[in-house]
């Protein structure tokens, strides 16, 4: 049904003739088409909440860059909004929550999201599936419970998320109650995305790396595990950025793919995660600022280290908005021209 | 000569009857005395550049908290300034360099710092040694070459330091030339601090954790190594924050103490660094927001994991400015009341 299904086959651990590639944040500011559209709109949320526009932006990198998977254009913060905690996206500053969660009563006032609360993204997925017409798979996504929790307590981005981390220490009861509600909402949302057509779902734990190993075990891992256990319909990817100390645990999750950031040594990560997962990553996003000859060299080196099978090529983090398109193209082309050197 | 020399004895690997403790950023906003003094001044740099004031602020946590070591109040960015690249400290925003380094000519225009260029800090050390009158040791410090480089290229703080990292990829020649000049300046500066009375010097590689393992090996490690090899007069501490992938390499450096951040598992870090270093750290700074019973429990757990010898207690990062003093005191008291359970 899907013409280029390399991404899904690699995710499931089936043998592939070449390594598939997509880029985190590929639908975004790196593309002039995106910037042109964005400049005509009132704000970022208009793009997220208008299915036709989200669909258009999702397809831009597919047409322009020839990636092997599309990822629906949305934002991880649609979940808090659907739970009753709305946010604003402040230009050049990032997300801002006028109200934050501070007490157990605040948690109790929040609802568990229903799929229809995020109907705009589900509609965008349906539209995109139709427009893709089976060319490549479509990825759905959500933030991991700890990362969503961090924004709901802190109220904005932060270098340290010290308020959110302090809450874990100060009020474990509140923390678990909120994490549980986020988890239930996320499961509903991901199942909605799958029903709408998502071929794989990825959970981004963007702030996993600032937790202590004990905090990760107590407040992050159990909730990701619940999500992994609940999602049986399609393969799932878990990307716990920076949580190098949790790689063995993440390898035990019931998910198909594990994200690898650029700090992580590839061979060590494989040893810790185990042989039964597909690894996704991990070129340094800054590598794409280099001259193309250097990008090519680094990409080939990465491909060889991953070994060709059970690998989905990507950056180790979202592509930075000012990355030159020539660098992005060189990365994608190098991966797509590289033939797996095994007897498939 | 020093009455309470626990810190120095632990640094050198000598047996101690109890674990010494100090806090990164102990001289700063956590103390009301500091905030009161700071509010009377024109700016942060006045404090750094006036020896009497730097001395006063250095002594505040010694008198107020009873820590086992003082650290001279200064800033890692005095080095770029001494090399000819001045910076401003913008209230609530952090450092800002009106001019940054972009070309090889920019590097060539910079000088190698002489001790007298940072005479104010050396003078502050002399004053502080006099005022301490042998009560506890005094720590000198500098930024690691990569971290200083990052600010000189980027021009300010950054979540990603993508401009600085891009420069490593785009222009290795410029990068090595600048790193070499920073290294030579840092050696001169640290030797000046030692001559002025510093009993140990610590090198902070605050941004080590955003490098790839290859970049760390190429652009960070060799320059720290040069500094370690050049400093023979007093013990040295290397704190490569976030560079978990480099712990084995850091263990090979000719330094006495290795800093450990709160992400790092203590037993694994000891195994990677080896038995011949003293480890310094590593309580999560956010732990100090918890109720004191929890702080005590976490501190005792940390002490037991480090095992009592070859350990200097500290946080895994600088103390956050809004940390309650009761939490800080509980941490310090718990360490100082804990008796090492071995036959010393």
Task: Identify the band that residue A344 occupies on the pLDDT scale cut at 50, 70 and 90.
Answer: very low
pLDDT of residue B342: 57
A327 CB contacts (<8 Å, ≥6 apart)? Answer: A287, A288, A289, A290, A292, A295
In the residue annotation, A29 being an active-site residue is answered as yes
Coil vs helix vs strand at B26: coil
What secondary structure letter does DSSP report for B85? -
**Stretch B168-180: mean pLDDT, rounded?**
98
**B256/chain A closest Cα distance in angstroms:** 25
Q: Residue B335, exposed/middle/buried by CB under 10 A (0-12, 13-18, 19+)?
A: buried
pLDDT of B340 higher than 90? no
**Stretch B73-93: mean pLDDT, rounded?**
96
Q: Which residue of B has its CA nearest to A286?
A: B166
Condensed to tens digits (0 to 9), the pLDDT of residues A237-247 reads 999 999 999 99
Do A290 and B209 count as a contact with CB atoms less than 8 A apart?
no
Do A170 and B291 count as a contact with CB atoms less than 8 A apart?
yes
Phi then psi for residue B289, to 5 deg, are -85, -10
**B44/chain A closest Cα distance in angstroms:** 21
Q: How many CB pairs under 8 A join A and B?
A: 78
A267 and A301 in contact (C-beta within 8 Å)? no
What would be the CATH architecture of the domain defined by A6-337? Answer: Alpha-Beta Barrel (3.20)
pLDDT of A275 higher than 90? yes
- A71 bridge partner residues: A139
pLDDT of residue A342: 57
What would be the CATH architecture of the domain defined by B27-262? Answer: Alpha-Beta Barrel (3.20)
- Residues of chain B found within 8 Å of residue A244, distances taken between Cβ atoms: 244-245, 263
Placement of tokens 């810790």 in the chain: A272
What secondary structure letter does DSSP report for A217? I
What residue spans define the domains of chain B? 27-262
- B311 bridge partner residues: B279
pLDDT of A143 higher than 70? yes
Coil vs helix vs strand at A90: strand
Q: Which residue of B has its CA nearest to A284?
A: B212
Condensed to tens digits (0 to 9), the pLDDT of residues A294-342 reads 999 999 999 999 999 999 999 999 999 999 999 999 999 999 999 886 5
For A295, the token pair is 């990008």
Share of chain A above pLDDT 70, in %: 99
Contact status of A172 with chain B (Cβ, < 8 Å): no
Those of residues 264-293 in B touching chain A at CB distance below 8 A are 264-265, 284-287, 289-291
Do B169 and A294 count as a contact with CB atoms less than 8 A apart?
yes
- Residues of chain B found within 8 Å of residue A215, distances taken between Cβ atoms: 284
* Interface with chain A: mutation pick from B166, B209, B214, B299, highest number of A CBs within 10 Å: B166
Give the C-alpha separation, A320 to A92, whole Å: 14
pLDDT of residue B1: 87
B2 and B193 in contact (C-beta within 8 Å)? no
In the residue annotation, A223 being an active-site residue is answered as no
Report chain A's terminal Cα–Cα distance, integer Å.
22
pLDDT of residue B129: 98
Contact status of A160 with chain B (Cβ, < 8 Å): yes
**Stretch A189-210: mean pLDDT, rounded?**
98
Task: Identify the band that residue B344 occupies on the pLDDT scale cut at 50, 70 and 90.
Answer: very low
> Global pTM?
0.96
Contact status of B320 with chain A (Cβ, < 8 Å): yes
**Stretch B321-342: mean pLDDT, rounded?**
93
* Interface with chain B: mutation pick from A286, A298, A304, highest number of B CBs within 10 Å: A286
B293 CB contacts (<8 Å, ≥6 apart)? Answer: none
Condensed to tens digits (0 to 9), the pLDDT of residues B252-296 reads 999 999 999 999 999 999 999 999 999 999 999 999 999 999 999
Condensed to tens digits (0 to 9), the pLDDT of residues B93-123 reads 999 999 999 999 999 999 999 999 999 999 9
Condensed to tens digits (0 to 9), the pLDDT of residues B144-163 reads 999 999 999 999 999 999 99
Give the C-alpha separation, B103 to B111, whole Å: 15
Do A286 and B213 count as a contact with CB atoms less than 8 A apart?
no
pLDDT of A156 higher than 90? yes
Task: Identify the band that residue B92 occupies on the pLDDT scale cut at 50, 70 and 90.
Answer: confident
pLDDT of residue A46: 96
Strands (E), A211-337: 236-240, 257-260, 278-283, 311-315
Condensed to tens digits (0 to 9), the pLDDT of residues A47-90 reads 999 999 999 999 999 999 999 999 999 999 999 999 999 999 99
Coil vs helix vs strand at B1: coil
**Stretch A23-39: mean pLDDT, rounded?**
97
**Stretch B134-143: mean pLDDT, rounded?**
98
**Stretch A217-237: mean pLDDT, rounded?**
98
- B21 bridge partner residues: B313
- Residues of chain B found within 8 Å of residue A290, distances taken between Cβ atoms: 166, 169-170
**Stretch A251-276: mean pLDDT, rounded?**
98
**A290/chain B closest Cα distance in angstroms:** 5
**Stretch A166-192: mean pLDDT, rounded?**
98
Q: Which residue of B has its CA nearest to A163?
A: B286
**Stretch B169-191: mean pLDDT, rounded?**
98
């Amino acid at each position: 049904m899907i013409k280029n299904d390399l991404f899904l086959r690699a995710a499931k651990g089936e043998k592939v003739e070449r390594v598939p590639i997509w880029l985190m944040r590929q639908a975004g500011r790196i593309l002039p088409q995106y910037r042109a559209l964005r400049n005509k709109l009132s704000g970022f949320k208009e793009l997220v909440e208008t299915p036709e526009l989200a669909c258009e932006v999702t397809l831009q990198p597919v047409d322009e860059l020839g990636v092997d998977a599309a990822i629906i254009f949305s934002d991880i913060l649609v979940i808090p909004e659907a739970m009753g905690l709305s946010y604003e996206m402040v230009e050049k500053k990032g997300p801002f929550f006028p109200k934050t969660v501070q007490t157990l009563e605040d948690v109790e006032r929040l609802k568990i999201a229903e799929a229809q609360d995020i109907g705009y993204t589900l509609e965008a997925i349906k539209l995109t599936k139709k427009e893709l017409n089976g060319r490549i798979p479509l990825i759905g996504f959500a933030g991991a419970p700890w990362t969503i929790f961090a924004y709901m307590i802190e109220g904005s981005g932060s270098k340290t998320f010290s308020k959110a981390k302090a809450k874990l220490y100060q009020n474990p009861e509140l923390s678990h109650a909120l994490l549980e509600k986020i988890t239930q909402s996320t499961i509903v949302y991901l199942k909605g995305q799958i029903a709408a057509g998502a071929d794989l779902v990825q959970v981004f734990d963007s702030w996993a790396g600032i937790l202590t190993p004990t905090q990760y075990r107590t407040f992050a891992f159990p909730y990701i595990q619940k999500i992994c256990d609940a999602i049986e319909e399609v393969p799932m990817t878990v990307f716990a950025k920076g949580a190098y100390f949790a790689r063995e645990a993440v390898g035990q999750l019931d998910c198909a793919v594990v994200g690898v950031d650029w700090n992580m040594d590839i061979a060590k990560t494989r040893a810790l995660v185990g042989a039964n997962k597909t690894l996704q990553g991990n070129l340094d996003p800054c590598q794409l600022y280099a001259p193309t000859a250097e990008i090519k060299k680094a990409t080939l080196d990465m491909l060889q280290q991953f070994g060709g099978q059970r690998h989905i090529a990507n950056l180790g983090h979202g592509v930075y908005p000012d990355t030159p398109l020539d660098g992005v193209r060189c990365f994608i082309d190098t991966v797509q021209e590289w033939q797996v050197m095994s007897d498939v």
